[in-house]
A and B are shown apart, each in its own frame.
Chain A
Amino acid sequence: MDKTAVVPVNGKSPMSTKKPMGQRVKEFVIDYKRQWEIQSMVIPGIIFMIIFCFIPIYGLTIAFKSYTVIDTLDSAPWVGLENFRIILSDKYFWDAVVNTLGISFLKLAIGFVIPIILSIMIYELSGGRFKKIVQTISYLPHFLSWIVLGGMLIAWFSSSGMFNEILLSLGLISKPVNILLDANKYWWIATLSDIWKEAGWGTILYLAIMSKIDPTYYEAAKIDGASRMRQIWNITLPNMKPIISLNLILTVSGLLGSNLDQTLVLMNSQNRVKAEVINSYVYRMGMTQGDFSYATAVGLGVSIVSVILLISANKVSSKLNDNQSVL
C-alpha cells in the first residue's frame, strides 16, 4: 500500500512546477493548515531567531549612524562612513590590533601544534589505565571557566605563590616578582594559559579521526621494518591532513578574535598596554564609554576582515590540497 495513503495528514501534495502560481499558494496554505500542530513546534524558534538574531543584525546599521543614548535605532542621524574614518586614525584601536595579532600568532604557532603532538602521543599509548588517566586529566581544565582560571593564575603568580617558589628553588630569580604586572610578559601569559586550558580538549577530535585509520597500514609498515616515528610520519599524519587543514582555516579566520573573558580577568592597569585586544576595546568603547556607534563600527569592520581571511585561507588551502576545498 502507498505510504501517503496510510498517513494522509502529513502527505505533502505532489508539487509540479507547471501549476499556476495561485494554485501553488493555495496548496501551500492548505498543507500549512493541515500541519498546524507540527508547525506550532517550529514557529517559536522562528520568532526567537527573528528577535534575537535578525534584529541585532539589522542593529548593525548604527555603525553608519551617530547614535546617542537618547536616540532610538531609527531616529539616529546617518553619518555614512564617518565612524570608519575615525577608526583609521585611532591610535588605541591599532594598539589593540597589534596586541590581538601578537597573541593570536603566538597561539597559532604554539597552541595549534601542541594538541596534534599530544593526540599522537596519546594514540601511541597501548591503551589501558594510563591512557585513560592521561585523557581524564588533560580534558579537565577545559571545563574551568576563565574567571576561575584567572583567579588561579593570579594566585600562582603572586609574590608568595607557587610560580615564584619554583623559580626561586631553581635559582632562576633571586627575588619574587609578579609577572602579571609585567606588561612585556602578558602575551606569553595569555598564550600559555590558553594552551594549558585547551590543549587536552583539542586532542579529542584528532583522536576520533585517528581511531578510524585502518590498523592494517601499521601492520604492513611494521613488517617492512618502519620505525614508530616513521609510522607516525607516513601513516598517522597523512590521514590527519584534512582535519588539520580544516582546523587551520578556522584558526586563521579567528586571528582577529580573542578571548574576552580571559582578557577581562587578566588585564590590570599595569599590563593594559599589552593586554588590550580588539574585543576588549569594543567592550570598553561601547559599554564603559557609551560610544555605541563607534564600538559597533569597530566590531563590524573586524568581522568583515575575518570573513575575508576565512575565504582567502580556504582558497589557499584548496590550492595546496589539489583543488579540493575543505569547507
Chain B
Amino acid sequence: MNRTVAKEDLDSRIFNAINIILLCICTVIIVVPLWNVVISSLSSGKALAEGGFIFWSPEFSLENYRAVFQDETIGLAFVVSLAKTFIGVITHVFFCAMIGYGLSKKYIRGRKLYVAMGVITMFFSGGMIPTYLLIKSLGLLNSFWVYIIPALFSYYDVVILMNFFRNVPDSLEESAKIDGAGDWRIFLKIFIPLSMPAMATIALFNGVGQWNDFMTTKLYITDQSLYPLQMKLYEIIVQSQTQSMQNVGGSAIIETTTKGVQLATIVITTLPIVVMYPILQRYFISGMMMGAVKE
C-alpha cells in the first residue's frame, strides 16, 4: 500500500512539474512580445533604428509620444472612439433590454413571429455589399450615426437579457400592476435596476467591440474627421509598411519616425482596454455562461 502511494505521488509530481513549466513558457510567449512593444514605444529613434533589443531599451525617450500628442488628428480620433463607444454602448444596451423585456412576457401577442424573426437574423445576413447599399440609401455614409444605429440591436444580447428578466419573480410585476404602474414604468423602475449585472456584462463586451471596430469605418466612412483610433492606426501602419518597402536599405530616419509613432499609437489605443481588463475579467465568465443558457 505504502509503495503505491509513493509511486502515485512521484507520477503526480513529475506531471505537475512539466505542466507548470509548459504553462510558464506559454505565458512568456504572450507577455514578452507585449512587453517588447511597450519598451519599444518608449525608445528613441536611434535605438529603434538599430533595434536588437528584447527586454530593455538601450535609450529611453518620450519623443514618440510627443509626436503622437502633437498630431491633432490622433487626438480627434481618440475623441471619436470615446464618443462612439459611450453612445454606442448605452443605446445598444437600452435597446436590447427594452426588446428583451417585451419578449420575456409569455403572453405578448405575436411572440412566436418575433422570436422566429430574431432567430433568422442570427443565422442569415445580406452580407457586405447589400448592407453597404442599404447604408448608402439610408444616407448614413460619412455620418457619425453609422457607428451607432446599425449596432443598436443584437438578437443574441436580447436573448441573454430576456432570460435574465424571466428569472425575476412574477410577484414583483404583479404587485406593481396592482399599484397601477404601467409596463414602461415597471421596466424602467424595477427591471432595469434589478438586471444591472447582466446589462454590465453586455455593455462591457459591446464596449470592447465598439472600441476595436474597424470595418465599419473602412466600409462606410471616408471623412477623415470621423476616423476613430483604430482606423487612424491602420492608416499609420499602411503608411509605414509602404515606406519600409520603398526604401529597403535606404534612409532609416523616415522609417523609424513612423515606426515610433505607430508603436506609441498602438499603446495608446490599447491602454483603455488594459485599464478596463480587471473589470472585464470579473464579468466575462458569467457572461459566457449566460449565453450558454438559451431557451
B30 contacts across to A, CB distance below 8 A: 137-138, 140-141, 196, 200
Please tell me which one of the listed residues B120, B245, B288 contacts residue A205 in the complex, with CB atoms under 8 A apart. Answer: B288
How far is it, in angstroms, between the C-alpha of A167 and the C-alpha of B187 when the chains are bound?
A: 60
Tally A residues with Cβ within 8 Å of B: 99
Q: Judge whether B133 and A161 touch: CB under 8 Å.
A: no
The A7-59 residues at the B interface (CB cut-off 8 A) are 7, 9-12, 28, 31-32, 35, 37-42, 44-46, 48-49, 51-59
Q: Judge whether B125 and A11 touch: CB under 8 Å.
A: no
Q: Judge whether B262 and A151 touch: CB under 8 Å.
A: yes
How far is it, in angstroms, between the C-alpha of A166 and the C-alpha of B55 when the chains are bound?
A: 11
The A170-201 residues at the B interface (CB cut-off 8 A) are 176, 178, 181, 196, 200
Q: Judge whether B230 and A208 touch: CB under 8 Å.
A: no
Q: Judge whether B121 and A53 touch: CB under 8 Å.
A: yes
Tally B residues with Cβ within 8 Å of A: 103
Is A64 part of the binding interface, using a Cβ–Cβ cutoff of 8 Å?
no
Could you say which of A96-104, A263-271, A314-322 contacts chain B? Answer: A263-271
Q: Judge whether A166 and B245 touch: CB under 8 Å.
A: no
How far is it, in angstroms, between the C-alpha of A59 and the C-alpha of B103 when the chains are bound?
A: 28
Q: Judge whether A228 and B285 touch: CB under 8 Å.
A: no
Q: Judge whether B51 and A161 touch: CB under 8 Å.
A: yes
Q: Judge whether B95 and A45 touch: CB under 8 Å.
A: yes
Is A84 part of the binding interface, using a Cβ–Cβ cutoff of 8 Å?
no
Q: Judge whether A130 and B131 touch: CB under 8 Å.
A: no
A216 contacts across to B, CB distance below 8 A: none
With most chain B CB atoms within 10 A of its CB, the pick from A137, A141, A154, A155 is: A155
Is B22 part of the binding interface, using a Cβ–Cβ cutoff of 8 Å?
yes
- Against A, the Cβ 8 Å flags (1 = close, 0 = not) of B66-109 are 00000000000000000000000000000100110111010111
Q: Judge whether B270 and A148 touch: CB under 8 Å.
A: yes
Closest Cβ of chain B to A208, distance in Å, is 6
The B225-260 residues at the A interface (CB cut-off 8 A) are 230, 233-234, 236-237, 240-241, 244-245, 259
A146 contacts across to B, CB distance below 8 A: 212, 214
How far is it, in angstroms, between the C-alpha of A265 and the C-alpha of B134 when the chains are bound?
A: 26
Chain A residue at minimal CB-CB distance from B289: A208
Q: Judge whether A62 and B129 touch: CB under 8 Å.
A: yes
Is B56 part of the binding interface, using a Cβ–Cβ cutoff of 8 Å?
no
Please tell me which one of the listed residues A6, A12, A56, A162 contacts residue B130 in the complex, with CB atoms under 8 A apart. Answer: A56
Is A160 part of the binding interface, using a Cβ–Cβ cutoff of 8 Å?
yes
How far is it, in angstroms, between the C-alpha of A228 and the C-alpha of B187 when the chains are bound?
A: 52
Q: Judge whether B33 and A121 touch: CB under 8 Å.
A: no
A154 contacts across to B, CB distance below 8 A: 237, 240-241, 262
A57 contacts across to B, CB distance below 8 A: 124-126, 130
The A122-148 residues at the B interface (CB cut-off 8 A) are 122, 124-126, 130, 133-134, 136-141, 143-148
Please tell me which one of the listed residues A32, A52, A130, A225 contacts residue B109 in the complex, with CB atoms under 8 A apart. Answer: A32
Closest Cβ of chain B to A253, distance in Å, is 11
Chain A residue at minimal CB-CB distance from B40: A155
A161 contacts across to B, CB distance below 8 A: 51
How far is it, in angstroms, between the C-alpha of A300 and the C-alpha of B150 when the chains are bound?
A: 21
Is B49 part of the binding interface, using a Cβ–Cβ cutoff of 8 Å?
yes
> Given that A42-B99, A225-B8, A260-B215 are contacting pairs, would A53 and B120 also be in contact in the complex, using a CB cutoff of 8 Å?
yes
Is A82 part of the binding interface, using a Cβ–Cβ cutoff of 8 Å?
no
Please tell me which one of the listed residues A59, A121, A145, A228 contacts residue B11 in the complex, with CB atoms under 8 A apart. Answer: A228
How far is it, in angstroms, between the C-alpha of A48 and the C-alpha of B96 when the chains are bound?
A: 11
The A194-250 residues at the B interface (CB cut-off 8 A) are 196, 200, 204-205, 208, 222, 225, 227-229
How far is it, in angstroms, between the C-alpha of A138 and the C-alpha of B114 when the chains are bound?
A: 39
Is A66 part of the binding interface, using a Cβ–Cβ cutoff of 8 Å?
no
How far is it, in angstroms, between the C-alpha of A160 and the C-alpha of B249 when the chains are bound?
A: 12
Closest Cβ of chain A to B183, distance in Å, is 4
Is B197 part of the binding interface, using a Cβ–Cβ cutoff of 8 Å?
no
Q: Judge whether B52 and A160 touch: CB under 8 Å.
A: yes
The B128-180 residues at the A interface (CB cut-off 8 A) are 128-134, 138, 150, 152-153, 155, 158, 174, 177-178
B277 contacts across to A, CB distance below 8 A: 140, 143
> Given that A151-B237, A158-B259 are contacting pairs, would A144 and B270 also be in contact in the complex, using a CB cutoff of 8 Å?
yes
How far is it, in angstroms, between the C-alpha of A204 and the C-alpha of B214 when the chains are bound?
A: 26
Is A254 part of the binding interface, using a Cβ–Cβ cutoff of 8 Å?
no
The B165-221 residues at the A interface (CB cut-off 8 A) are 174, 177-178, 182-184, 187, 208, 211-215, 218-219
Q: Judge whether B270 and A12 touch: CB under 8 Å.
A: no
> Given that A151-B262, A222-B8 are contacting pairs, would A37 and B182 also be in contact in the complex, using a CB cutoff of 8 Å?
yes
- A-B CB proximity, top 4 nearest: A56-B126, A160-B51, A59-B130, A145-B212
* 10 residue pairs A–B, Cβ–Cβ below 8 Å: A12-B107, A35-B107, A39-B110, A45-B118, A57-B125, A58-B130, A151-B237, A155-B263, A162-B32, A200-B30
Interface residues of A (CB under 8 A from B): 6-7, 9-12, 28, 31-32, 35, 37-42, 44-46, 48-49, 51-60, 62, 73, 118, 121-122, 124-126, 130, 133-134, 136-141, 143-148, 150-152, 154-156, 158-162, 164-166, 168, 176, 178, 181, 196, 200, 204-205, 208, 222, 225, 227-229, 260-261, 264-265, 268-270, 282-283, 286-287, 292, 295-296, 299-300, 303
